Amino acid sequence: MAATHSEYRAYLRNTVDMEAGQHRFQPVPSSESTYRPLVFGTLAVMGLLQVASSVAILLHLTGYLQEVDLSTTPHRPIEEVQTEPVLNALKDTRKTRRCKPKENLPSAHLPIRARQDLSKQIEIAIIEWDEVHGNLRRMDYQKGTLMVKESGFYYVYSKTCFRYYKMEGTEDSSHVEVSHVDVSNAQLIQYVYHVSIKQNSKPALLMKVGSTMRWNDTSYNMYCAQQGRGVYLDEGDALYVKVSNAWMLDQEAEGTYFGAIKLGN
């Protein structure tokens, strides 16, 4: 009977022993909480790789990325490999855009011939030019006339300067003896004429410029007239310049000159 009672007591534990026994077993962690961060991390890495690959493809299609084979140039620095295509492109562009200069275009530039006898040329007169100190290229010059040897579109220009200076008791600085000349109302005009071979060599006024000057006999006076225009000239055409009051011309090459240059056909 005693054994039976002890077995019964062992079998039936009290409440204190049962509560203490519950704390001996630790709860097993859930597998769901363990794998959840791993899944999120994997998805994040895959998303970043997808974005990076998309950006790389976009840059490659737009031309911002260039494939460079570094295996073929193991001893060359990266900077040299990257800049060489740019330099080659610039060289090729310069070669393709290089234009051959037009050589030996017909042209002429003639300064005024110094020490001209203008003592009696008070009215309109043709100016003589200095072909020795001028520049003639595939054009001719004869007695104040510029001759065209090649047809085409030309730019014709001319400049003339007039001056007058006289002090009381002295001669005119231009060394021209002209009596009874009223310089207080002098018309100083420049004319450029075109002689066309198609119009039976009839002169036609091409340009005109000038002014009426009110000068003083006892002071230094100067006036310059300059003009230019484009015109088509045929082979055999001629050009010349006339001025009024030619005795007042400034006979210096920097002030009075005449010329033409061909621009095209």
CATH classification at residue 245? 2.60.120.40
Q: Are residues 51 and 165 in the same domain?
A: no
Of the candidates 50, 76, 97, which is a domain's last residue?
A: 97
Determine, yes or no, domain membership for 206. Answer: yes
Q: Are residues 122 and 62 in the same domain?
A: no
Q: Are residues 166 and 192 in the same domain?
A: yes
pLDDT at 262 (0 to 100): 97
Determine, yes or no, domain membership for 7. Answer: no
Of the candidates 62, 97, 132, which is a domain's last residue?
A: 97
Q: How confident is the model at residue 83 (pLDDT cuts 50, 70, 90)?
A: very low
pLDDT at 238 (0 to 100): 97
Determine, yes or no, domain membership for 38. Answer: yes
C-alpha span between 256 and 121 (Å, rounded): 17
- Residue 23 to residues 27, 29, 230: CA-CA distances in angstroms? 10, 16, 113
Q: Are residues 66 and 121 in the same domain?
A: no
Q: Are residues 208 and 115 in the same domain?
A: yes
Q: Are residues 111 and 231 in the same domain?
A: yes
State the DSSP code for 133. S
How many CB atoms are located within 10 Å of the residue 237 CB?
A: 21
* Over residues 203-225, mean pLDDT: 91
Q: How confident is the model at residue 36 (pLDDT cuts 50, 70, 90)?
A: confident
Q: Are residues 210 and 149 in the same domain?
A: yes
Counting the structural domains of the chain, the total is 2
C-alpha span between 112 and 124 (Å, rounded): 16
SS3 state at 259 = strand
C-alpha span between 246 and 117 (Å, rounded): 10
C-alpha span between 117 and 126 (Å, rounded): 12
Name the residue with tokens 């204190």.
16
Determine, yes or no, domain membership for 19. Answer: no
How confident is the prediction for the chain on average, in pLDDT?
A: 76
More confident residue, 84 or 132: 132
Name the residue with tokens 């769901």.
32
Q: Are residues 165 and 89 in the same domain?
A: no
Q: Are residues 248 and 148 in the same domain?
A: yes
Determine, yes or no, domain membership for 44. Answer: yes
Determine, yes or no, domain membership for 89. Answer: yes
Q: By mean pLDDT, which of 116-130, 231-245, 251-265 is the weakest? A: 116-130
Q: Which pTM value belongs to this model? A: 0.59
Q: How confident is the model at residue 86 (pLDDT cuts 50, 70, 90)?
A: very low
Determine, yes or no, domain membership for 213. Answer: yes
Q: How confident is the model at residue 44 (pLDDT cuts 50, 70, 90)?
A: confident
Q: Are residues 82 and 126 in the same domain?
A: no
Of the candidates 73, 97, 121, which is a domain's last residue?
A: 97
Determine, yes or no, domain membership for 77. Answer: yes
pLDDT at 38 (0 to 100): 75
pLDDT in tens, 249-265: 988 899 999 999 999 98
Q: Are residues 38 and 145 in the same domain?
A: no
Q: Provide the residue range defining the domain that includes 247.
A: 107-174+182-264
Name the residue with tokens 């066309």.
196
Q: Are residues 111 and 93 in the same domain?
A: no
More confident residue, 209 or 168: 209
